[in-house]
Structure 1
Amino acid sequence: MAEGDGVATHGIRVRLDGTASESDIDALHKWLEREKPLADLARTDQLRIDERIRIDEAGAPMGTGMDIVVAVLGGAAGAIFQSVVDQVRRSVEAWRANRREVENGEPPEASVEPVRPDGR
């Protein structure tokens, strides 16, 4: 493996609010994995989508909450990062719209923000 390959150089945290259930987090994770632009990057090892235990600013776990972290990998990460952030935002909004159509009640609010590769 060449230097930088498979190493997270930029990250994006997707956080659902406190109304989210575990099934919401799982459904959003799967939705992101199926979004074509993200799936194409994952297939070429330029992107990885993981769930991580939610942590506070000091790095301590925050209850049982989970975040979804989209890690942009390798040497080209800087060049494509903003387009990936934009795609993740669009994908999260599409998931929220879909959830609104297929389930009762409002979907959880979501935030999408760049983070360090360790998820903080």
Structure 2
Amino acid sequence: MAEGDGVADQEIRVRLDRTAGDRDVEALRQWLEREEPLAERLRRGELQIELRDRRNEDPGTPMGFGTEVVVVLIGGAASAAFKELMVAVRLAVVAWQENRRSVEAGDPPEAQVGGAADDG
């Protein structure tokens, strides 16, 4: 089967709580882009990290919870690879929260990390 034929990309969505501002969302995206092994997969073209505005999907979404960071695994890799990526993203989000706590006043936003099929 040729690359991309009938193989859907898989997504991991990172949603910050309503205390997050645009600066937090952008800082998290940049952190994920630099975090290994995500950075290596980005260099190899195996994944993309993008921001998506959810306010159009869910009109009742409060400010700060309207943008999510989406990590897209290109070409629908095997289940094991996706699970490994999910763990890496979760660890990277925790590392970002710890870093933010050490360099900025106040607690960092809470984060939800889940697959695209997760609606919570």
Change (3 A) 1:106 1:75: closer
The 5-angstrom pairing of residues 12-91 of structure 1 reads 12-54=12-54, 59-61=57-59, 62=61, 65-91=66-92
Amino acid at match of 2:67: M
Deviation at residue 36 of structure 1 after TM alignment = 1.8
Identity of aligned residues (%): 49
Q: 1:17 to 1:95 in 2, by over 3 A?
A: same
Q: Distance in 2 between matches of 1:110 and 1:75?
A: 24
SS at match of 1:20: coil
Q: After the TM superposition, which segments of 4 or more aligned residues of structure 1 sit over 3 Å from their partners?
A: 59-64
Q: What are the ranges of 5 or more consecutive residues in structure 1 without an aligned counterpart?
A: none
Q: Looking at secondary structure, tell me which structure has more strand per residue.
A: 1
Aligned-pair Cα RMSD in Å: 2.3
Tell me the distance in 2 between the aligned counterparts of 1:91 and 1:41. 14
Structure-1-length-normalised TM-score: 0.83
